[in-house]
Amino acid sequence: MNKAKYIKYVFVAFLVTGMWGCTSMLEETEPATSVSSEVALNSADAINAIRASMYSTIRASFDLTTENLIGPDALADGMVNRPGSTRFQVLNAANGVSGTVHIGSFGGSYDVLLDANILIDGIPDDVPEFDQATRDQYRGEALAIRAWIMHGLSREFGYEPANTGISGSTFDLSAINRNFPTLDLTDAEPLARSTVTEIYNQMLTDLAEAKTLLAANGSSENKFITEAFVDGMLARVHLYAGNWSDASTAAQNAIDNSGLSLVSTAAGIASMFRGANPEAIWELDVNPNTEAIAGSNINNGLAAYTSDQWVAQIPTQKVIDAYTAGDYRVAGWHGDCIEEQSVGATANGCSTVNSLGVSITKWNGWKGNLADDITYMRVAEMYLIKAEADAKAANNPNAGVAALQALKTARNAGTVPAGALVSITAFEDEILLERMRELTAEGHRFWDLKRLGRDIPSVSGVGIKIRRDSFRILAPFGVNAQNVNPLLVENPGYEVAGN
Amino acid sequence: MLKKLLTLLVFALFSSVGLYAQVTVSGTVIDAETGETVPGVNILIVELQRGAASDSDGNYEIRNIDAGTYTVRATFVGYNTFTGTLQVGSQDVDYDISLEANIVGLDELVVSGYSVVSKRELTGSISSVSASDIENVSLQNTQSLLQGRAAGVTVTATSGNPGAAFRVNIRGNGSINAATEPLYIVDGVQIATEQTSNLTSTTPLNAINPNDIESIEVLKDAAAAAIYGSQAAAGVVIITTKKGVRGQTRVNANIERGVRSLARTVDYISSEEYVQFLGEGRAFDNGASLDQDISAFVDNRRAFLLGFFGSDPNGDGTTLANTNWQDFIFEDGVTERYNLSLSGGNERTTYFLSSGYEDTEGTAFNTDFTRLNLRTNIDHKINDKFTASVKVNVSNSTQFGVCQDGNFINCPPSQAMFEAPMSFPFLADGNYNNNTRFGLANNPAVVRDEVDRNVDITQVLSTVDLLYLVNDWLSVKGSASVDYRNTQDEQFRSAIAAPGQSGWVSFVNRNVQNVQGNLVANARKTFDDVHNVTGLVGTEYRRVYSEFAATRGEGFSVPFFSVLSSTATPASATGNNSEWRIASYFTNLKYDYDGKYFLSFTGRYDGSSRFGSGNRWAFFPSISGAWRVSEESFFNFSFVDDFKIRAGYGTTGNSAIGNFAARNLYGNVGSYDGLNGITPTQLANENLSWEEAQEINVGFDYELFASKIFGSIDIYRKDNKDLLFGRPLPSDSGFDEITENIGSVRNEGIEIEINSRNVTTSDFSWTSRFNVAFVRNEILELPEGNDIDANDQFEALIIGKQIGLIQVPEWAGVNPADGRPMWYDANGEITYTPGAEDNVEWNDGIANTVGGFGNTLNYKGFSLDAFFQFSLGQWAFASSDYYFTRTPDFLMNLNTEVRDRWRLPGDVTYFPRAMSGGNAYPETDNYRTEEGTQSIYNASYIRLKNVSLSYNLPTSLLDGLGIRNVRLYASAINMVTWTAWPWYDPEVAFDPTDIFTNVTSASYPTERQVYGGIDISF
C-alpha cells in the first residue's frame, strides 16, 4: 500500500469516528419549563413559586373546587340536575345500598399536600435571600392548608370523632396521614391509613403551629391563608370533633381576627359574590383568562355547573322552601335559569325542578370567562358554628340564639322560630336549615348531615336516599388505589371479593 | 466478439435484399430510466418481418424500407416489449427507441437504509411500493399509498378530512406508552413529528407530493431495521423521490379534477317518527300499552317539542321542523390538482424538477386543503472522484382546522348527531336560530359562518450529499439534511359564536428544526469471483428542537375585524420549547458466496439525550442470512426460477418517550396571584432506558414459472421488552407514577405476498397482486405483575391478553314481555343491571387480518386497474353515535335502528321499547350508557380502494406534435365498501398513536372521491 492510499484511509477513518466522545452533545438539552430539585429548593424565587403552586393546584383541581363546593349538595338534597343535563346526576342518584359514586378528592388533595409538605419540611436551612419571616409565613400557610386538606379527606374517607362507630362497628380508620415531603422515590412508599384520632390530632397540631406563625408573620390579604382562616379551620375541626366550647372560641377568634362583619343589606347580599367578597375569610384568587378549573371553565367550572353553560345542578324545592318571605338571599343569590346564562346556551327546564325556575348565581362567572374567585370560608359560617357550638356547649338552645339571630337579622330572615328552642335537636334542625339557606353551593350539606349522624334525605324531600348507618356514607378508595398500595384498607362495604 | 457477431448478423440481413430507391431507418436504443444505450436488442418491423439488432453502442440500422406506416417492436431480456408506430416517407428516418426496464420480481432494487440492494440479496424483511404500483392512483397522502399494498403494514385513516393523518402500524402494537408510529425517512431525512397542529388531524408527511415519489420501502423486521437502532422498534418507512434521467428533457404535465362525497351516511328518524317515539315512551311511563289509543301522549310530546325547539320557521306555527342536519353539515366537495415536472440531464448532471398544486374542498362545511410543492433534485458528477447531489422540497399547505374526535358541542361531525330534526339553523327572517340544541353560539350555522380555524404549514425538506469515490471498492458519503416546519394555527370566533368574550381570536406559531448529519463509508469487493464482501460504517447526529408561542385576544367591539390588534383584551400569551438529540454509530457487513449464501450483520450504537445518565448509550445488533436454494445443483425443479430462504434475528429500540422523562423535575404549573407556580412533576429514574424489540423473522422469496409468479412469505415473532411504563405510585405521594422499563408485549404473524403476470402478449397484459398479513398480540408482562385497569371496557391491559381487548356484559336481547333491555350476568342469568363483574371478553380492536389485492389489465392503449383493500377482525364501539343517537335523553338525532323497537308483549325486536329517556325503564340500567355486546360492532371491511381506467393516445396521433405521450384517465377512491359497520366509517383509529383502536368518537367521515385527469409528456 503506497503512502497516498494510506493517508486516504486514515482520512476516511478519521471522518467516520469523528464523533466519539459526543456524550456531551447529548447532555446539553434542558427542559424549558422545568428545573431540577437542587435548583428549585435552593432559590427564594423558586420557593415563592412552590407556594404559588400550592394555591394554584387547589384552583386547578376539579375535586377541590367544583366537586368540593357543589358535590355535597348534589350528593344530599340541596341541588339536583336540570332535565337535559347529566353532570353530577350520579351524585343525585346515589343510594344507600349499592354503587360507589361519592365525593372524592384523593388525588387532588395529595397534589396540594405535595407542595405544602415541601414548604413545611423540604426547604433546606440556608437558602440565599430567603428570610426567616417569609419562611415562617409560608410554613404557617402550608400547615393550615395541610389541615384544610386533611379535614376534607378525613370527612370523605372516615367518620368524625363524634360519630365513629355509628354503624355499630368499631371502624375508626381515616385518611392517609402524609405529613412529609416526597423528594425522591423512597419517599413515595405506600403508607397505611391513620385513625380518626390520629388525623384530628395532626390537624390540631398543625393549626396550633400555624396560628403562632401567622399571628407573627401572616398575610393580611384574604387571598392567602391568614390567622383568621386558621381560627376558622380550628372552629370547623372542633365542631366536627364535638369540642363545642373550643369551636365557639375559635369561631369568635375568626370573626375578630378577620375584621369582617355580616353584610346586612339586600344590595350588599346580591353583590356579595360578584366582586371581592366582603364576608370572605379565604377567597382563592382566579385570573379569568389564564386560570381555569381543571383546564376548562366552560366544561368544569363552578359557573358551568350551576348557572351557565350546562346549568347542571340547580337548587331543590326544599332549598327554595326553606326561605321565609323577604329573605335577601332569595333574590340575591338566585336568578332566572335562562337569563343568567352568558354563553348563548338555552338550558331550560329549571321550573320543573323548583317553582321559581331559578339557578344559584353565587358562581356565575362574574370575573368573565365563566370564572369566579372561589370563596372557601365566610364569616357567616363562623356565626353558624358559634350558634351551634354555644347551644351544645351549654346544652341549651337559647345559648345559641345570639349568633344565629345575628345572621338572620343581617339576611332579613326574621327571628329564630320558637319551635327551634324546644330542644337541642330542634335547634340543630334549625341550624341545619339555616346552613342550607346560607351555604348551599358552598360545600357543606352532605358533611353537615354526616357529622351529625343524620340520614341523607332524598332530593324530592320524601324519604331517605342514604341511611346514616349505610356504608355509602363513606367514600371508597377504589381498586386501583388498593392495587398500588397493599397497606390500604378499603372502607367497609366497598371491598372487592377475591384479588 | 459480440460486436463482430452482430455486425455479421446485420450484414447478412442487409445483403439478403436488393438495392432499391428505398430509405434507411436507424436509431439508438436506450434504457428509459438510466439513459444508457442498450446493445443486443432485437428490433423488428412487424409488417415486413424484417429487423436488426442494436450494436454495442446501442445503434441499429434497417435499410431499404418502402414508404408506409409500420409497427416497430423491440425486445430484450429484462425490458418491457416496446411497440411503436413508424412512418416512412421519401427521407431516411431517425427512430430512437427507449426501453422501460422490466424490474419486477427479485431483480427489483430496494432502499434498505444507507444503501440500495436488489431484492435477490435481501436477508431481512422489507416491503416495497414502487412508482409503477401507484402511478394510476390519485391520492393526497403518502401514507395512504401503503394501505393494503405492503404486507404487514396496517394503515388506518384516523379521520376523513382532507390532509388528515393515518395510523401506520407495522407488525402490531409493540408499545403501550412510547410511540408506536414508525420512523419516516424521506430521501434520508428522518422526519420530525413534534408540534403538529392541534386544530385538526394533519401529518408532517403532507409536505410530500405523492407524484414525486419513486418508491416507498418499509423495513419490517429487526434484521432490516436495526440499522436505525433506537428509533426503529416500530419499523421504518423510507420514502425516496424521483431522480433525473439522462437524456432529452422530459416534461410531464398532469391535471386532474374530482368530486368528493361521504363514503357512507347514517340514517336518522324524522321529526314525526320522533314525536311518535316520545309519545310511546310517555305512554309507557304512564302505564299505558300501545294497543290502547296513545294519541294524547303523542300530542303531549308534540306540544313539548314545539315548546322546546320552536315550530318549523317555514310552517304555520303548529308543525315541527324536519331538518336533515347531515345534509346541512356535509355536502359534496371538489379537488383540483396540477403537477408539472421536468427531468433530464447529461453525463455529468441530471435533474428532476417538479411543482404541484392542489386545491380541495372537503365535504364538511368550510373544510379544505391546499398544497403547493416545489421540488428540485439534482445530481452532479464533479469529477471522477466526487459526486454531489441536492434534494430540496419546499411546501406550503393550508387546511381548515375542522374540529372532531370527541363529543364536542361545536364540532361539525358531532353536531350532525347532536342536532335533532326538530331544530333548525335559521329563523324565517334569515337570522340564526338561537334555540338549537346548544344555543346560538353552537348553532351549526353559527359554527359554519362565525368561526374560522386555519392551519398553515410551511415545510422545507432538504438534503445535500457529497460522495467521494476513494477507489473502485470504497466510497465515502457525507450528508447534511434539514427538516424545518412552521405551523400556524389561527382560530377566530365572532361575538355571536363566543358571546362570553364578545368574540376572540387566537394564534399559535409552531416551529420544528430537525437537523441531521451523517457520514457513511461503503465498501464492496469481490475475491476470487465468488466471495462478495460488502460493508458500510457510518456515524450520525440528529437534533430536534421544537417550540411554540400562543396568543389570544378577546372582545371585538367592531364586528369587521378578526385580528389580534382589534381585540379589546390581550387575554393570554403562552409558549414553550423542547429539544432532544441522538448520536449514533452504525455498521452493516455483508458477505455472500457466489450469490448463493448470504450473511449480514447490522449494528447501531445509539446515545440519546432522553435517557438516564446511567443508561445513555445502547447497542442494537442484528444478524441474518439467506440461502438461494434454487442455485444448488441438487435443486432441479424446472418451474422454480428462484427460491430463497431467509432468517434473521435482532434487536431494535424505541426511544420515543418524553424528552426529559428520566429526570427529577420541578415543572412550571399554573400561577397564583400573578406568580407562576412550580411543583415537583416527576421523580428521577437515572436508569431509564429505551424499549427494546427482539425479533426473529423467517422468510421465503420465490419466483416461479419463468417469473410469472413471484413473491414472499414471512413469519415473525417480535417481543418488545423493557416497555416504558408509569409504575403506579401511591397517589398520596403526590405522584401517580414513575416511568420505568417494565413490561413486555409479543406480536407474531405471517405475511404473504403473491404477484403474478397472468397474460403477457404484445397487445394484452394482465397482472395480479395479493398480500395478506395475520397478526396476534399478547401482553406478557406488566408492572409488578398487576393488570392495569383490568375492568376497563376498552383500555384494560391484562397479562396474557391482547391490547385493545373489549370487555362488556353479554347482551341477552329485548325482553319480549315488557320491552326492557336484558343482559347476562356472570352466572349466565338474565340481569337488567349488569356490572363490571358481568363483563365477558368480547373481541378486540385489532384488525388481525389485513391486506389487499389488485388486478391490472392493459389492452393496447387502455389500462384498467382495480385495487381492493381489506381489514378483518377489528371490533369497535362508536361512542358518540351510541351515546347520543340511540335514546332521546338529550333530544338529539335518533338512529333508524329505533324503528325495530318493542311495542307489544310478544314482540321480538332488536331495540327495546320506546322511552322518554334512557332511565325510563324500571329497575333497568340506562340503555344509552350500559354498554354490552349489542353496542360493539364488527369494523371489518373490504373496500374498493382505487379503481382507474386510463387510455394512452396512439403515438401515431401524437407524432409531429412533439408530444411523447398523452394519457386520459378516470379514477376513484373508496368507491365501494362492504362492511357490517352501521356508522360512518369502519376505519377506527383515534389518532396515529392510538393502540387500542376500539373506540371512535365523532370523527370526520371518510370521503369517496372520483377523478378525471390527463397526463401529457413531451
Alpha-carbon distance of A156 to A141, in angstroms, equals 23
Residue B609 in grid coordinates:
439525550
A349 CA: distance to closest CA in chain B (Å): 9
Residue of B nearest to A5 (CA): B470
> Within 13 A of A283's CA, how many CA atoms are on the CB side?
23
CB contacts of A488 in chain B (<8 Å) are: 730
To the nearest whole percent, how much of chain A has pLDDT over 90? Answer: 75
Query: Which candidate in A6, A28, A50, A56 is best for mutational testing of the B interface (most B CBs within 10 A)?
Result: A56
**How confident is the model over B703-752, as pLDDT tens digits?**
998 888 999 999 999 999 998 888 888 989 999 888 888 889 999 999 99
Inter-chain CB proximity B678 and A17 less than 8 Å: no
Number of domains in chain B: 1
Mean pLDDT of chain B: 87
Residue B561 makes CB contacts below 8 A (sequence gap 6+) with none
CA distance A130 to A137: 11
Binary contact (A18, B539; C-beta < 8 A): yes
Q: Do B720 and B654 touch, CB atoms closer than 8 A? A: yes
Task: Give the nearest partner residue to A184 out of B583, B666, B684, using CB atoms.
Answer: B684
Dist. CA A298–CA B410, nearest whole Å: 12
Nearest CA distance, A287 vs chain B (angstrom): 8
pLDDT category of residue B2 using cuts at 50, 70 and 90 = very low
B808 has pLDDT over 90:
yes
Q: Is the pLDDT of residue A26 over 90?
A: no
> How many residues does this entry show for chain A?
499
Are B905 and B816 in contact by the 8 Å Cβ rule? The answer is yes
* Cβ atoms of A230 and A250 closer than 8 Å: no
Least confident of A64-68, A154-158, A458-462, B615-619: A458-462
pLDDT at A201: 97
B142-177 pLDDT, tens per residue? 778 888 888 888 888 888 888 888 888 888 888 887
- Residue of chain A nearest B498, judged by CA positions: A343
Q: Does A441 or B656 have the greater pLDDT score?
A: A441
* Of A40-49, B128-137, B652-661, highest mean pLDDT: A40-49
Positive/negative CA dihedral, B879, B883, B884, B886:
positive
> In this model, does residue B12 exceed pLDDT 90?
no
CA distance A450 to chain B (A): 24
Residue B924 has pLDDT above 90, yes or no: no
Q: Is A74 exposed, middle or buried (0-12, 13-18, 19+ CB in 10 A)?
A: buried
pLDDT tens track for A396-442: 999 999 999 999 999 999 999 999 999 999 999 999 999 999 999 99
Residue B814 has pLDDT above 80, yes or no: yes
CB contact under 8 A, A370 and B730: no
- Which structural domains are found in chain A, ordered by start? 41-292+301-479 (1.25.40.390)
B432-474: pLDDT as tens digits? 998 888 888 889 999 999 999 999 999 999 999 999 888 888 8
- pLDDT score recorded for residue B665: 87
**Placement of cell 325482553 in the chain:** B815
pLDDT category at A449 given cuts 50, 70, 90 is very high
C-alpha distances out from residue A46 to A123, B679, B794, Å: 11, 9, 42
Min Cα separation A447/chain B (Å): 22
B72 pLDDT tier (thresholds 50, 70, 90)? confident
Residue B84 lies in a domain: yes
Residue B792 has φ and ψ, to the nearest 5°, of -65, 140
Model ipTM value:
0.89
User: B251-282, pLDDT tens digit by residue?
Assistant: 999 999 999 999 888 999 999 999 999 999 99
**Domain annotation covers residue B92:** yes
Higher pLDDT, B2 or B141: B141
Mean pLDDT across the stretch B778-794?
A: 88
Nearest to A107 among B679, B731, B738 (CB): B731
Using the beta-carbon criterion (under 8 Å), do B791 and A54 form an inter-chain contact?
A: no
Kindly state whether residue B597 falls inside one of the protein's structural domains.
no
> Per the CB < 8 Å rule, is B677 touching A114?
no
Q: Are A36 and B474 inside 8 Å of each other by CB?
A: no
Q: pLDDT digit string (tens) for A315-367?
A: 999 999 999 999 999 999 999 988 888 875 566 788 889 999 999 999 999 99
Q: What is the mean pLDDT of residues B473-491?
A: 92
Q: A-contacting residues of B 358-417, CB under 8 Å?
A: none
What pLDDT score was predicted for residue B569?
A: 85
Question: What are the helix and strand counts (H, E) for chain B?
Answer: 10, 50
Contact assignment for A34 to B554 by CB distance below 8 Å: no
Q: How confident is the model at residue B8 (pLDDT cuts 50, 70, 90)?
A: very low
Q: Any idea what DSSP says for residue A394?
A: H
Domain that holds residue B41: 2-99
> Is the Cβ of B499 closer than 8 Å to some Cβ of chain A?
yes
Q: Which residues of B touch A46 (CB under 8 A)?
A: 666, 678
Q: Is residue B445 part of a domain?
A: no
In percent, the amount of chain B with pLDDT more than 90 equals 45
Q: Which residues of A touch B585 (CB under 8 A)?
A: 17, 19
* Residue B55 within a domain: yes
The alpha carbon of residue A355 is apart from the nearest alpha carbon of chain B, in Å, by 19
What average pLDDT does this structure show over B765-776? 93
Q: Say how far apart CA B812 and CA B838 lie, in whole Å.
A: 12
CATH for B56:
2.60.40.10
Interface contact B733-A22, CB threshold 8 A: no
Contacts of B541 in chain A (CB under 8 A): 19, 22, 25
Statement: residue B56 has pLDDT above 80: no
Chain A residue closest to B546 (CA)? A32
Highest-scoring range by mean pLDDT, A27-31, B402-406, B557-561: B402-406
Cβ within 8 Å, pair B672-A53: yes
Name the more confident of A16 and B281. B281
What pLDDT score was predicted for residue B1?
Answer: 44
Cell numbers 440479496 correspond to B121
A33, A106, A346 ranked by CB distance to B576: nearest: A33
State whether A56 and B665 contact (CB < 8 Å).
no
Query: Which of A6, A7, A34 to mutate to probe the B interface, most B CBs <10 Å?
Result: A34
As a whole number of angstroms, the distance between CA B560 and CA B578 comes to: 38
**Residue B23, strand partner residues:** B65
CA distance B615 to B611: 6
What is the structure's pLDDT at B373? 94
Is the predicted pLDDT of residue B979 greater than 70, yes or no?
A: yes
Q: Which residue of B576, B660, B682, B733 to mutate against A (max A Cβ within 10 Å)?
A: B733
| Residues sharing a CB contact under 8 Å with residue B407, sequence separation 6 or more, in sequence order | B414, B879, B880, B883, B884, B1001, B1002
In a domain, B70, yes or no: yes
- Give the pLDDT band of residue A3 (cuts 50, 70, 90): low
Q: Are A182 and B734 in contact (CB under 8 A)?
A: yes
User: How many whole angstroms separate alpha carbon B812 and alpha carbon B323?
Assistant: 35
pLDDT value at residue A4:
63
Which residue out of A6, A15, A26 would a mutagenesis test of the B interface target, given it has the greatest number of B Cβ atoms within 10 Å? A26
Q: Which of A15-19, A104-108, A299-303, B615-619 has the lowest mean pLDDT?
A: A15-19
Q: Do A344 and B554 touch (CB under 8 A)?
A: no
Please, what is the Cα angle at A133 between A129 and A134, to 5 degrees?
60
Q: Does residue B128 sit in helix, strand or coil? A: strand
Query: What's the confidence (pLDDT) of residue A20?
Result: 47
What proportion of chain B, given as a percentage, has pLDDT over 70? 95
Query: Residue B735: which of A117, A182, A289 has the nearest Cβ?
Result: A182
Q: Which three cell numbers stand for residue A179?
A: 405529613
**Across the interface, do B500 and A343 touch by the CB < 8 Å criterion?**
yes
- Sign for the pseudo-dihedral over CA of B825, B830, B835, B841: positive
Res A430: pLDDT: 97
The b-or-e profile of B689-707 (16+ CB within 10 A means b, else e) is bbbbbbbbbbbbbbbbeeb
Gap between the Cα atoms of B714 and B697, Å rounded: 7
Interface of B with A in 954-973 (CB under 8 A): none
- Indicate yes or no: CB of B572 within 8 angstroms of CB of A35: no
Q: Please give, rounded to a whole number of angstroms, the shortest distance from the CA of B606 to a CA of chain A.
A: 10
Cell representation of residue B715: 413469519
Instruction: Give the confidence band of B20 by pLDDT, cuts at 50, 70, 90.
Output: very low
* B390 in any annotated domain: no
| Closest in A34, A346, A484 to B667, CB measured | A34
Contact A52 B670 (CB under 8 A): yes
pLDDT of residue A2: 59
Report whether pLDDT(A275) > 50: yes
Q: Which of A245-254, B7-16, B841-850 has the lowest mean pLDDT?
A: B7-16
User: Mutate which of A54, A105, A185 to test chain B, going by most B C-beta atoms within 10 A?
Assistant: A185
pLDDT band, very low/low/confident/very high, at A6 (cuts 50, 70, 90) = low
Closest-CA residue of A relative to B571 is A289
pLDDT at B464: 93
C-alpha B787, offset from chain centre = 32
How many CB atoms are located within 10 Å of the residue A385 CB? 26
Q: What count of CB pairs under 8 Å joins A to B?
A: 254
Distance of alpha carbon B884 from its chain centroid, rounded?
A: 30
Q: Which among B190, B255, B198 is positioned nearest to B227, based on CA atoms?
A: B190
pLDDT of residue B11: 41
pLDDT digits (tens, 9 = 90+) for B829-881: 999 999 888 999 999 999 999 999 999 998 988 989 999 999 999 999 999 98
* Mean pLDDT within B186-212: 89
Report phi then psi at A424, rounded to 5. -60, -40
Chain-chain contact of B607 with A223 (C-beta, under 8 angstroms): no
pLDDT the model gives residue B17:
39
Residue B38 inside a domain? The answer is yes
| A419-433, B91-105, B135-149, B587-601, range with greatest mean pLDDT | A419-433
pLDDT of residue B649 exceeding 80, the answer is yes
